[in-house]
A and B are shown apart, each in its own frame.
Chain A
Amino acid sequence: MTRAPIILLPVLLLVLLGGALDDPHDSVATQPLMSSPRFAAVNVYIDPGGEPLAAYQFELTGQGAEVKLVGVEGGEHQAFADAPYYDPKANLRNRIIVAAFNTGENLPHRQTRVATVMVEVTGPVRWLASLDVAAAPDAKHTDAAISVSEGAVQ
């Protein structure tokens, strides 16, 4: 891996966490009606379609419910095992934006759980995840897919 992309990836992460988003790569999961606050773990998966995944950013939305971010955990692959970063400014506006990068060589190529988002939820919720970006080590965007599931790790 060349030095330029290594430098670019952290910059990309900063830019991504500071930016807004609209992306067609959405995924949906629903949960039954709940009225009192409950805690949920939402697993987020990215499938880079055979390309090495070096960086990602997604936004998680809980439609129809009041959702509060209460923690972020890393994923199953060693490259994304560390707890990812969230955007504190977005969180001020009740938006959950999570991102991570890895400059190493051991990167996932297939679907992998990249993060588990811990939330407090009030009301019935429909989870929607949008992938803002998925990048290869050379900082080029890859055409990846995102999916979510609530509960214990699949």
Chain B
Amino acid sequence: MRLKAIGVVVLPTITAAVAWTVVGCSVQRYDSMGSSSLRSTIAPASIGRSGGIGGQPRGSELLPPQSLPCSDDELWVIPRQPQDRAAPRSTEPMPGQGQLMARRKEGDGQKLVPVPLKRTDVQASVIGYIATVDVKQQYHNPYNDKIEALYVFPLPQNAAVNEFLMTVGQRRIRGIIRERREAEAIYREAKGQGYVASLLTQERPNVFTQAVANIEPGKRIDIDIRYFNTLDYRDGAYEFVFPMVVGPRFNPPGYSDGIGPVARGDYGASGQKTEIQYLRPEERSGHDISLSLNIDAGVPIENIDSRNHKVSINKRSPEKAEVALDPGDSIPNRDFVLRYQVAGKATKPTLFAQRQGNGGYFTLMLFPPALLDDLPRQPLEFVFTIDVSGSANAIMAQYFERISHPALTDIAVDWGSAQVHDVFPKQLPDLYVGRPVVLTGRFEGNLPRSITLRGKLAGREQRIEVPIRQADQRVETKALSAVWARMKIADLADRAAYENGIDPPGQIRQLALEHSLMTAYTAFIAVDSLTRTSGDHGATIAVPVPVPQGVRYDTTVQEAGTVRQAKDGAE
């Protein structure tokens, strides 16, 4: 087999997109060196100070960078708006603004900013390598007028968001999956009529927006979200990842459908459809997070540790562990990453199946070896890649090192007597060090006790028996079907890039609605038709978040201060 490295196309914008994936280092800001020929007007933003979802449009322009960063820099293109066109920071009074809204926290000199999101509780359980995660967001209204709360938050890239509940007082209302536009229209109507309502939409596969309308002063509304995902397996260890804050995103020049970083209160300043409001360095919010995780690995757990947070670990047995985030480490400004290894030099592949009706769903993870040592190099077909930014050197070097040592190529599955269909990904990738291959599919009837994997290692045929296990009864009934549907949707989206004659939005929408899954084309809506509040729906208050740890606020966040000053001076 010949290996093909698909790399970076020599285009400044694509290069920037690759550089955007680099994490860490210092941040270089490019903000005012644009070519006028590449300028374009930004489309209306959907989230505004007074409009919330479907609010008033904002205008802006994006300016592309002209120079390139040094190799140690992370490239974020943060457009600065021309002063005569930038959306000014709202000068309208906020609900309850003044002494009631902002107060000093004793001791650290930081201003404590009340926000509509009080707390996030995360409870996760992992059986094998399948995670079921319940996220509870507690919204409240600390102001003296009614508000709509708006929160942009992250979830793992492969999260299959499947359940949505809204709790008003003691009453729990199950949200309904609907086509996104329809859900948005219902939400607007309910909000306008004064009903308590909530809407969950997806901006990116890993970025979501939660809107909660008509929260009365002093009232609390909880939102419960459940998702399933398969754990990452990297470099010989499982990784449970819970992202806590959305970092700034790269928005290509002329693009207005992105996610823009703005300062707290600067609604519409970025000109992007979705905005993340960041707290200033001297500010902090009362929003904190708790997280607990129960792991049942099925085999002895070894070397469990948290990369970024203090945690308490209680090993109930060699196979089980309870992990909890330290209460003193509850500021949501970096990803929670828990890594653990399991016993055995090489993790054996296992196929988990879950029966539904006359058939069911399955998932198979094929683990790679942890080290390159025992793997011979393979011949490569070269595709020259020119990275003009230089910022992705480390990533590309690691990438080429890995693909030059395949652990198993030309993988094929002999399903034996099993009636298997809709297996994703459609084309099985080769297995490389550090990255597993995950398959998921459907079956009819009964499955045999094992299946056979075939492949090549250094040109020699390999044959691996894979036992089939029924998924543990504690695994949520819908978990495997949700994981399967999520992978099918990802496959449809991929195929749309190179295949004609298919209708990815239509197929994705249909699949997502049937499986109650969040996608870009679907949304969860919940309306409490019994709770109609009086008066106007009030102001829309975004939940500001801290800038991710290691990120500089001043080089990242769009401030509209100069615009405001100029306007104030004119007045």
- By a beta-carbon cutoff of 8 Å, the part of chain A in contact with chain B is 10, 14, 18, 37-41, 68-74, 81-86, 88-89, 91-92, 116, 118-120, 152-153
Could you say which of B356, B510, B514, B527 contacts A71, with CB atoms under 8 Å apart?
B527
Interface residues on B, range: 20 to 34
- Contacts known (A41-B530, A68-B186); A88 close to B175, Cβ less than 8 A: no
Q: Does B529 contact A (CB under 8 A)?
A: yes
The residue on A at minimum CB distance from B170 is: A81
Segment 193-248 of B: residues with Cβ below 8 Å from A: 193, 195, 197
- Contacts known (A88-B177, A88-B516, A152-B530); A73 close to B186, Cβ less than 8 A: no
- By a beta-carbon cutoff of 8 Å, the part of chain B in contact with chain A is 165-166, 171-178, 182, 186, 189-190, 193, 195, 197, 356-357, 477, 510, 513-516, 525-530, 532
Q: CA separation between A68 and B477, bound complex, in Å?
A: 27
Cβ contacts A to B, 17 pairs, < 8 Å: A14-B477, A37-B189, A38-B193, A39-B193, A39-B527, A41-B530, A70-B176, A70-B190, A71-B166, A71-B529, A73-B172, A82-B172, A88-B513, A88-B515, A116-B530, A118-B527, A120-B527
Contact yes or no, B174 A86, CB < 8 A: yes
Nearest CB in chain A: distance from B359 CB, A: 13
Contact yes or no, B172 A70, CB < 8 A: no
Q: CA separation between A10 and B513, bound complex, in Å?
A: 22
Contact yes or no, A14 B173, CB < 8 A: no
Q: CA separation between A40 and B16, bound complex, in Å?
A: 50
Q: CA separation between A91 and B183, bound complex, in Å?
A: 13
The residue on B at minimum CB distance from A18 is: B357
Nearest CB in chain A: distance from B198 CB, A: 9
Nearest CB in chain A: distance from B404 CB, A: 46
Contact yes or no, B529 A40, CB < 8 A: yes
| A to B contact number (C-beta, < 8 Å) | 84
Q: Known pairs A72-B173, A84-B174, A91-B513; list 15 more (Cβ under 8 Å).
A: A14-B356, A39-B193, A39-B527, A39-B529, A41-B529, A41-B530, A70-B197, A71-B176, A71-B525, A71-B527, A81-B172, A88-B515, A91-B178, A118-B528, A120-B186
- Contacts known (A14-B356, A18-B357, A71-B175); A118 close to B529, Cβ less than 8 A: yes
Could you say which of A38, A72, A153 contacts B174, with CB atoms under 8 Å apart?
A72
Chain A contact residues, majority secondary structure: strand
Hey, which chain B residues are within 8 Å of A39, CB to CB?
A: 189-190, 193, 195, 527, 529, 532
Contact yes or no, A92 B527, CB < 8 A: no
Hey, which chain B residues are within 8 Å of A81, CB to CB?
A: 172
Q: CA separation between A73 and B529, bound complex, in Å?
A: 10
Contact yes or no, B189 A120, CB < 8 A: yes
Nearest CB in chain A: distance from B186 CB, A: 6
Nearest CB in chain A: distance from B346 CB, A: 37
Q: CA separation between A120 and B529, bound complex, in Å?
A: 8
Nearest CB in chain B: distance from A11 CB, A: 9
- Contacts known (A92-B514, A118-B529); A69 close to B176, Cβ less than 8 A: yes
Nearest CB in chain B: distance from A101 CB, A: 12
Contact yes or no, B514 A118, CB < 8 A: no
The residue on A at minimum CB distance from B510 is: A92
The residue on B at minimum CB distance from A73 is: B173
Q: CA separation between A51 and B189, bound complex, in Å?
A: 42
Q: CA separation between A86 and B197, bound complex, in Å?
A: 18
Contact yes or no, A92 B193, CB < 8 A: no
Nearest CB in chain B: distance from A32 CB, A: 17
Nearest CB in chain A: distance from B10 CB, A: 45
